[in-house]
Structure 1
Amino acid sequence: MREVVEEARKIFPLSPFEGEKISFMDEESSWVLVRNRERLFSWGRYNFSNHVCSVFLFTTLFPTRSKIVRFELLTGAWVLMFLEGKGQRQCFFFNEESYALKERVRLGYGYLSKYEFEAKLGEGSNALFVSLFRMGRTSAVNFSMKCDTDLEIVVPFRGDMDVGLRERIEEEVNSVRLDRDVFYPCHEIGFSIDKIVPSVTLKAQLLSLKGELLKEVSLERGKKVVFCRGEDIPDGEYQFRLIWLDKNRKQEVTNTSFNIAKITPTEDLVGFDFLERRKYMTLEHFSKNPQSPNFLYKELWSPITGYILGEREKIWSQVAKYALGLYSQIDNEVIVDVCEFILNKKDCSEFLLQAILRLMYWDREKQRLEPEVREIMKKAILNFRFWVDEPGESLMHMGSENHRVLLHAAEFLAGQLFPDKVFYNSGQDGLFHALKGRTYLIEWLRQRGKFGFDEWNSNCYYTVNVAPLVNVYDFAPQEDLILRQLVKQVLDFMFFILAEDSFHGVFGTPCGRTYSPYVKYPDFQYTGSLCWLLYGEGSLWGGSGMGAVSLATSKYELPRILADIAASSEIVESRQRQGFEDPANIVVYRTPEYMLSSVLDYSKGVCAPQTHVAQITFKNKAVVFWSSPYSSSEGAGVRPDYWSGNVVLPRVIQYRNVLALIWRRGNFFWMSHCFLEPSKFDEIRREGRWLFARAGKGYVGIFSKKGLSFAEKGQYAGREIVCYDPDNVWLVECGCESEWGSFENFVNGVSLSKIIEGDEGLTYHSPSIGEFSVGWKKDPTLNGKPIKLNSPYLIKSSWARSLFGRGLIAIRHQGKRLELRF
């Protein structure tokens, strides 16, 4: 790391301006304007082995006079800083051993260091150069700095740039609007722009994910850019890149980019009788579409689809081809690359190992794979480190719920596959590993049946859990009835939750762990492919095929009662209590026109890096949800990011169709916001502090105590509702045509309802449920009676019932019954 810091010193004599090239550690980039508004600048990437993350920042400071200024620096990185002005240069270096370290501040999964130091600022311009470094798997960097005096901060411009013109260009940048990020064949691929600066040229480009230029348009007049229709380009991920050129159209002034995807949505095929057909179609899809639409890199986090394993996700395409009998089309290079990844014991190796094990078990009889390929697969298995009690080191994370089942299942299956072989890492034979893996696996399964999931209702990790469970169910000895029965019952329980709490294939509940693409874009939920396979609604673009391909090739049989529940149009209210360590009380209110769901009064005020607290789901995959980000960045390396997780969890109260989210200020809190894409709705209305929307026959009214407005710039301009007051209450009422008649009646009835505001919360006289009173500390009430927040039931609805911790789940529907015993 210190070598990297020393290398960074060489670039500090520069006085960079926007667009200037920069070279560091054999990588080239350009200086760009940081347009973020958050209190803590953040950038990060998720890696599978330790990497150094380097970020460089530069600006100019203008004090009113020459003076000694006291600074406070907050960061999660090593910091090398230069201050230069009036012929003097000051250099500072901060790490955890720094003399200036004042304290450590908790943020999410880690800590930030707070430093205090003094520096002399000369009269006039002072250049501030900051470089941030961090090494690790999640190599995120964070940075904020404040001082005890007033300073004018000026972004450095190119020498010949007129400041007034540059400000007008920035207004044009901020006026760019996207209707959506995910386009279908029927959509026009493009964007709109509200302001045009006559003396500059805007060059708009459509790029592939690889960076290839597909189409370019120059704008001198006009406010709408259409590159093509969705049907004109292949399914995949793309980027809009916008470049502003000076009046001579020679030199770049500034640029910005927007990530998008184009996909062909999966058509519904509802009905239990189509299950076998859906299995075949699932395998056919993933054999041709090995992962997210256009993956080109081996390790990549996509802000649209979210996949991070890159080309290695293609391993599930090979599994699908094998299952379809397309042996000659199997890509051996993908299998070898995956095995090398596993041999290096990189993080998430156990995800890929499930595919290798499935292929190995199949190929014991068929012998379709090349002998040398089988040999490297065997080597990858025998060298693996299956648990924390084994010798050696690895870069694998082993502690969370999904990692545990992946590792325990892999150990059991590997040991059973090679019972008399010595495993090189542990020095134990396969029989030992089979017994140990089975022991841990049995305990994991019983905990799920009694206490639910710690990563409750996760729209990504649900699918991750399916692959190892299906492998165990398919390849455990037929005589091991206890293990196979427990596995099947956990799968039944998971698929019941999917059936009951999905809305037309969208798993629209709060999540214990999720990532931003899966809450923003239902097409890319990992659970979407499971929902489509099992019940006929959802999206086969959800996930790499890890869960769906495993399930489509499995001996597991879906109980018909679950398919009937998924297809039901009944109004159902479900209460759940899930989680062994920190139970979450979840409520789901599902109607034919919408579904409203939340986690009640859960850990209010704390930072929750991946917790999704509430959502409304309508038809047409229209979703509405809230979060409080600490950063405007997105990706697995930043947790919580702009849309997934919360820097401060709100207190959430729901009763049927009415919901309140109450936020109070906390560390790094700078705003709460609501995701709502107008293009997915048929009508949008604004009435004072209320915003109303209609999707088909479903209605929603959203109220913000401290006011609301649509964001005016960035990727989500016009598609997110923001409130910058840290002490706020968001209030929601849902309704539908069968209850209200017209949308006009709903808007009038809700907007004219009485709201009594207090310092702590509010009382809302709902026209549908009555007097709904909530606050940060006060007990919530409905018509003067307490609203129950904690449930003694693992699951309780008109379809299922189970006491928390008992281990007996009874599912009933239309005279049919399914009992799960743990």
Structure 2
Amino acid sequence: MTAPRFAETTSATDFTVAPGETVTAWAMSPVEARLYPGEPALAEDRVNYRFVNGFVDVGDLPCRVALWRELETRRVAFRHHFEIDGLYLPGFNRRVEFSGFWHRPTRLARWLKTELVPAHAGDYVFRLATCGGVRIWVDGVECAVFEPFRRNRESETEIRLPLKAGGSEVAVLTEELAERDALWYFELTLLGPDRLTARLPVEISGATVGLLKDLAAEVRPDPLHVRDGRLRLRVERPASVDVTVRGRILPSVHMSDKPPLLDAVGILESGETLVELPGADALADGYHPLELTFAVGDNRVTRHIAFATFAAPFRDFSDRTLAERKALALDYAAANGEARIGRAIAIMATGRSADAMVHAIIADTLAAVDERRDCSDFVMVPLLWLYSDYRDGLPEATRREIRRAVLDYRYWVDEPGNDVMWFWSENHVLCFHVSQYLAGRLLPEETFSCSARSGAEQARLGEERLSKWFDSVERHGLAEWNSAAYYPIDFIGLLALEHLGDGAIKARARALLDRLMLMIGLHTLAGVPAGTMGRAYDKELRAGPLTELAPFATVAFGKGWLNDGVAALPMFCAGSYEPPETACAIVEPEPGKALTAHYVQGHDEAARLALYKTAAVQLSSMVDGKPGGRGHQQHVVDLRFAADPFARAWINHPGEDDPWGNQRPSYWAGNGSLPRVAQYENVAMLLFDLGSNARQSFTHAYVQSDAFDAVERLGNWIVLRAGRGFAGLLATSPIEATTAGPGAGIEFRAEGRRCGWVAVVGEGSSPADFVTFRDHLTGVSVSFDAAGQLVLDRPGRTALALDWDEGLTVDGKPYVFPNRSLDPAVRHFDAYSF
């Protein structure tokens, strides 16, 4: 199957669709959403404690069983008329997509319509792909029913639609059943026999359609990282009329029931390319998903993008003791933390009384627990900590409510339920087992209603299951290695066990905490935890100092930033756990010195990790992996510079069309097709073979240009300088900078289904040293040899070649990864200086 192409605009409200292109011009109804839980039941326990990143088949949950039963008998009436809520226009996604996150089982539906005008009347053939289910009517007659409803797995079929010469109305009902993160889309690709025109069935001028289309495709925050409190949005072409722009920031997915953090309106005036939305100065520092609606009259287009606010100062606590740093961070979290249960711990731990904020947080936490929302296990653990340590400071009625919620919760799949809590990933398995173990220990004589077990039985079973989890990660390491998103979740469970557990479980938790801190210390540079990651989202990559993990590094190692993240940090600061000295000792290499580290993580050595680090720059790679396989959220090569917290670069193969998308993999986080990767000291090599069916035929580099002192082109090189840190990126295909739209200032593309990249890092202390580095790069080349190996030619230095099947050779000899142990092998030597 070849990847579909974008349709082209012809004139007015018409969009030409040629064979191989998709239909993406639609008028849409509002989304219809309703709770759809099904009947409570036990789930099959498919957890084998061999954790991998990617799709997990968990069987049919009660909501999906209910859906299958409904589909057997339901009839769907054609909806002749529906409210037009907005337009979907070509330009940024070949799919018609509404993916998102729903914490409870939710049935979703949306009606769409367009007019398809063929050159000649007849049957036109389309490939219909979907996550969800689709029904299609042509001129009021149902012509296609395709309802696979496979959770987050695309299905496709071929359909024929009879189209009249003068044009036919085509209506679509797209549906999905959301079980937490849900891919919800359809893709209608024309196969033949001839091209046709898609025409919007609304009263709108061609100029307005063109304007809205360009706004949705090209809008970007300028800058991405807002440091002055002013949120400005830039588009490429001046608006032809005034456009009303509404921006909304919804709370995090863990607090989606709360009001928007921002709901602001601005006017993009005619002739202008920049609009400012007020209110960003009142936002907490963070990486914010932004829902934009562009409106001209009654015609609206919605677009989802993101930006960061960042005003916090760099903090140097290196002259403070760990206890003092913990106390400072607790005070900060108590005053500024997100309104989650961790903030309540911070408030109580600092000796404050249970104020209105604490009671509101507890009420929200109990609602999440009672409704068994997905991710409620993440708040159950700190709730148990709060109850264990600070219940005497809570009113009796509050204590009763907490005990009731704890006793009524569902702790594992062998207890009946009709929720969509995720029991199967590395971090969730830990938090569910910790919850069961600690809840049972706290209430040993009580009966837990969902399982009918006593607390003592729950504690015993939780400990037994925790032992299996520890057996796995102690043998294989973590599938979510270095993850700035999921290490804080691991900390939730492990810190609670270290604080409230007993015996071997407590000791094993402390030992694993030490190992995590060592890995964080290795990959933290100038206060920002970075490096290759087993799982990453855009926010972890684009906004390093704003992750939940960043304040851990600040408290543990003495330098960095504090933010409103309270998922686990207050537990670290309120507890007695102390990071090992070995972790603290490798955070800052001495000037002019470098360290390398090699170790493995993940089941069956899913990741062989290599690190090169100096005080100015670090290069980190996931070596080998599964070349050519479908990626998930693995971040395979990462460059991080000390001079600016956002000075970062990486190379990947985009996993979706939309530069602002959130799929797994997304455009920037993860890889659609995994490369073969090697790293040798200060050089990383990536070899991509995308195959013939790759959705994207290019690979690209992300370079946050405005965070660097210099981003220069030298032949086909991208040459970077941030402070004393230097880097060069080179590909076998010509590299082209993206100059418009979401990729402007960050994206450098290399076309080609087979392509090699190299990254070289170094350092220097003066402008002359940077010139020397540039001169060095002019003598370095990368190419494919006759055998298809990626060869790095750098006169006077070690010869490197990367083979798709055999991996790296160094001076013609096979390179053996130096340490296949979970314990990092660290080596110190002089840095590569110029």
1:140 is matched with 183
Identity %: 22
- After superposition, the C-alpha distances for 1:736-774 in whole angstroms (9 at most, x for unaligned) are 225994333323331442333347343121357432222
When structure 1 is superposed on structure 2, of 745-754 and 515-524 the one drifting more is: 745-754
1:657 is matched with 682
Counterpart among 593, 598, 615 of residue 592 in structure 1? 615
Counterpart among 546, 562, 577 of residue 583 in structure 2? 562
CA distance in 2, matches of 1:483, 1:204: 54
Against the structure 1 CA distance between its residues 433 and 731, is the aligned structure 2 distance closer, same or farther, given a 3 Å change threshold?
same
CA distance in 2, matches of 1:554, 1:449: 23
Residues 135 and 142, structure 2, Cα contact 8 Å, conserved in 1: no
Against the structure 1 CA distance between its residues 152 and 772, is the aligned structure 2 distance closer, same or farther, given a 3 Å change threshold?
farther
Against the structure 1 CA distance between its residues 274 and 4, is the aligned structure 2 distance closer, same or farther, given a 3 Å change threshold?
farther
Q: Say which SS state the counterpart of residue 715 (structure 1) adopts.
A: helix
2:458 is matched with 433
Residues 272 and 560, structure 1, Cα contact 8 Å, conserved in 2: no
Amino acid in structure 2 at the alignment position of 1:719: I
Amino acid in structure 1 at the alignment position of 2:224: D
Map 1:624-643 onto structure 2 (within 5 A): 624-633=649-658, 638-643=663-668
Counterpart among 150, 153, 171 of residue 111 in structure 1? 153
CA distance in 2, matches of 1:346, 1:240: 23
1:216 is matched with 266
Shift of 1:384: 2.4
Q: Report how many residues are paired.
A: 740
Q: Say which SS state the counterpart of residue 638 (structure 1) adopts.
A: coil
Counterpart among 590, 607, 610 of residue 633 in structure 2? 610
Map 1:477-626 onto structure 2 (within 5 A): 477=502, 480=503, 482-541=504-563, 544-569=565-590, 570-581=593-604, 583-619=606-642, 620-621=644-645, 622-626=647-651
Against the structure 1 CA distance between its residues 77 and 217, is the aligned structure 2 distance closer, same or farther, given a 3 Å change threshold?
closer
Amino acid in structure 1 at the alignment position of 2:752: D
2:344 is matched with 318
CA distance in 2, matches of 1:208, 1:426: 39
Map 1:456-475 onto structure 2 (within 5 A): 456-475=481-500
The answer to whether 1:424 aligns with 2:445 is: no
Against the structure 1 CA distance between its residues 5 and 30, is the aligned structure 2 distance closer, same or farther, given a 3 Å change threshold?
farther
Counterpart among 773, 790, 804 of residue 746 in structure 1? 773
Residues 42 and 631, structure 1, Cα contact 8 Å, conserved in 2: no
Q: Say which SS state the counterpart of residue 630 (structure 1) adopts.
A: coil
Residues 601 and 789, structure 1, Cα contact 8 Å, conserved in 2: no
CA distance in 2, matches of 1:575, 1:235: 34
Amino acid in structure 2 at the alignment position of 1:647: G
Against the structure 1 CA distance between its residues 576 and 171, is the aligned structure 2 distance closer, same or farther, given a 3 Å change threshold?
same
2:242 is matched with 201
Against the structure 1 CA distance between its residues 634 and 401, is the aligned structure 2 distance closer, same or farther, given a 3 Å change threshold?
farther
Against the structure 1 CA distance between its residues 447 and 255, is the aligned structure 2 distance closer, same or farther, given a 3 Å change threshold?
closer
Counterpart among 283, 286, 296 of residue 333 in structure 2? 286
Residues 719 and 728, structure 2, Cα contact 8 Å, conserved in 1: yes
Shift of 1:513: 1.9
Amino acid in structure 2 at the alignment position of 1:387: W
1:388 is matched with 413
Output the aligned Cα RMSD: 3.4
Amino acid in structure 1 at the alignment position of 2:353: Y
Residues 93 and 658, structure 2, Cα contact 8 Å, conserved in 1: no
2:200 is matched with 156
Against the structure 1 CA distance between its residues 474 and 521, is the aligned structure 2 distance closer, same or farther, given a 3 Å change threshold?
same
Shift of 1:580: 3.0
2:100 is matched with 45
Amino acid in structure 2 at the alignment position of 1:573: T
Q: Say which SS state the counterpart of residue 567 (structure 1) adopts.
A: coil
Residues 688 and 756, structure 2, Cα contact 8 Å, conserved in 1: yes
- After superposition, the C-alpha distances for 1:411-455 in whole angstroms (9 at most, x for unaligned) are 221111112222222222222222222232234334433432122
CA distance in 2, matches of 1:144, 1:439: 46
Gaps of 5+ in 1: 15-20, 23-28, 98-103, 292-312, 801-822
Against the structure 1 CA distance between its residues 233 and 418, is the aligned structure 2 distance closer, same or farther, given a 3 Å change threshold?
closer
Residues 58 and 130, structure 1, Cα contact 8 Å, conserved in 2: yes
Shift of 1:517: 1.1
- After superposition, the C-alpha distances for 1:238-262 in whole angstroms (9 at most, x for unaligned) are 85857475xxxx6658675643332
Shift of 1:172: 7.0
Amino acid in structure 1 at the alignment position of 2:108: C
Amino acid in structure 1 at the alignment position of 2:606: P
Q: Say which SS state the counterpart of residue 816 (structure 2) adopts.
A: coil
CA distance in 1, matches of 2:216, 2:159: 37
1:91 is matched with 143
2:162 is matched with 120
1:808 is matched with none
Amino acid in structure 2 at the alignment position of 1:67: G
CA distance in 2, matches of 1:7, 1:528: 52
- After superposition, the C-alpha distances for 1:704-737 in whole angstroms (9 at most, x for unaligned) are 3232323355433332223343322222222222
CA distance in 2, matches of 1:5, 1:338: 39
CA distance in 1, matches of 2:766, 2:815: 23
CA distance in 2, matches of 1:401, 1:257: 29
Gaps of 5+ in 2: 1-66, 251-259, 829-834
Map 1:711-730 onto structure 2 (within 5 A): 711-730=738-757
- After superposition, the C-alpha distances for 1:462-492 in whole angstroms (9 at most, x for unaligned) are 1111122222222234xx3x33322211111
Map 1:32-71 onto structure 2 (within 5 A): 32-38=88-94, 40-71=95-126
Counterpart among 679, 697, 702 of residue 706 in structure 2? 679
Q: Say which SS state the counterpart of residue 273 (structure 1) adopts.
A: coil
Amino acid in structure 1 at the alignment position of 2:611: V
CA distance in 2, matches of 1:182, 1:7: 50
The answer to whether 1:705 aligns with 2:732 is: yes
1:74 is matched with 129
Shift of 1:157: 7.3
2:322 is matched with 275
Against the structure 1 CA distance between its residues 396 and 175, is the aligned structure 2 distance closer, same or farther, given a 3 Å change threshold?
closer
Shift of 1:315: 1.5
CA distance in 2, matches of 1:206, 1:503: 34
CA distance in 1, matches of 2:703, 2:145: 43
When structure 1 is superposed on structure 2, of 151-160 and 41-50 the one drifting more is: 151-160
| TM-score computed with the length of structure 1 as normaliser | 0.82
Residues 268 and 274, structure 2, Cα contact 8 Å, conserved in 1: no
Shift of 1:609: 2.1
Amino acid in structure 2 at the alignment position of 1:315: I
1:297 is matched with none
Residues 728 and 777, structure 2, Cα contact 8 Å, conserved in 1: yes
Amino acid in structure 1 at the alignment position of 2:133: W
Against the structure 1 CA distance between its residues 756 and 207, is the aligned structure 2 distance closer, same or farther, given a 3 Å change threshold?
closer
Counterpart among 472, 478, 481 of residue 453 in structure 1? 478
Amino acid in structure 2 at the alignment position of 1:720: E
Residues 241 and 255, structure 1, Cα contact 8 Å, conserved in 2: yes
- After superposition, the C-alpha distances for 1:388-421 in whole angstroms (9 at most, x for unaligned) are 3445554322222111221222222111111222
| TM-score computed with the length of structure 2 as normaliser | 0.81
- After superposition, the C-alpha distances for 1:47-96 in whole angstroms (9 at most, x for unaligned) are 22111233455444343322323322222211011234xxx845321113
Shift of 1:192: 4.3
Shift of 1:515: 1.9
Residues 520 and 675, structure 1, Cα contact 8 Å, conserved in 2: no
Counterpart among 402, 422, 436 of residue 411 in structure 1? 436
Against the structure 1 CA distance between its residues 11 and 745, is the aligned structure 2 distance closer, same or farther, given a 3 Å change threshold?
farther
CA distance in 2, matches of 1:675, 1:170: 25
- After superposition, the C-alpha distances for 1:781-812 in whole angstroms (9 at most, x for unaligned) are 22212223474222333369xxxxxxxxxxxx
